């Protein structure tokens, strides 16, 4: 989702008018319209912070653009897992897009995430192999 799509979705989710949001952020109504149409973006990190605070979201959610991975349509996830995965993706996207990490810190974060992923895959395969052996031997 783009910033404008997220902005509008959060405004509608909270049942706020564009004027109410403009008043709360102390900006003009035209700017709200431009945000929602994707014609304009906040210029400062402070502006993003104020928007996130108004909508009760993490600032990184608004800093991240084009979340390619969307878990909402995947039937195999529980609602909590979907929400947690999407929150992690949004946070990571924002952290990499607008965060204060150096390039080497970003690399270290990615390496740590990859390690977590591959370790969990190994554990999963070991558990399944162990379960298969128990089933084959009649143990349960």
- pTM higher than the cut 0.75: no
User: What is the Cα–Cα distance from 130 to 24, expressed in whole angstroms?
Assistant: 57
Provide the pLDDT confidence category of residue 7 given band limits of 50, 70 and 90: very high
User: What is the Cα–Cα distance from 75 to 98, expressed in whole angstroms?
Assistant: 32
User: What is the Cα–Cα distance from 18 to 29, expressed in whole angstroms?
Assistant: 7
pLDDT tens digits, residue range 33-90? 999 998 988 888 899 999 999 999 888 888 876 544 455 555 555 777 777 777 777 6
Provide the pLDDT confidence category of residue 125 given band limits of 50, 70 and 90: confident
Residue 43 burial class via C-beta count within 10 angstroms: exposed 0-12, middle 13-18, buried 19 and up: exposed
First to last CA, the chain: 46
């Amino acid at each position: 989702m783009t910033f404008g799509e997220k902005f509008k979705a959060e405004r509608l989710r909270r049942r706020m008018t564009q004027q109410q949001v403009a008043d709360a952020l102390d900006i003009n109504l035209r700017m709200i319209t431009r945000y929602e149409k994707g014609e304009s973006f906040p210029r400062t990190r402070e502006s993003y912070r104020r928007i996130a605070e108004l909508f009760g979201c993490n600032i990184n959610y608004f800093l991240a653009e084009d979340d390619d991975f969307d878990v909402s349509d995947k039937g195999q996830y529980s609602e909590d897992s979907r929400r947690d995965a999407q929150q992690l993706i949004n946070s990571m996207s924002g952290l990499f897009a607008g965060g204060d990490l150096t390039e080497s810190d970003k690399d270290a974060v990615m390496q740590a995430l990859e390690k977590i992923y591959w370790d969990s895959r190994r554990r999963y395969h070991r558990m399944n192999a162990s379960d298969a052996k128990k089933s084959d031997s009649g143990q349960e």
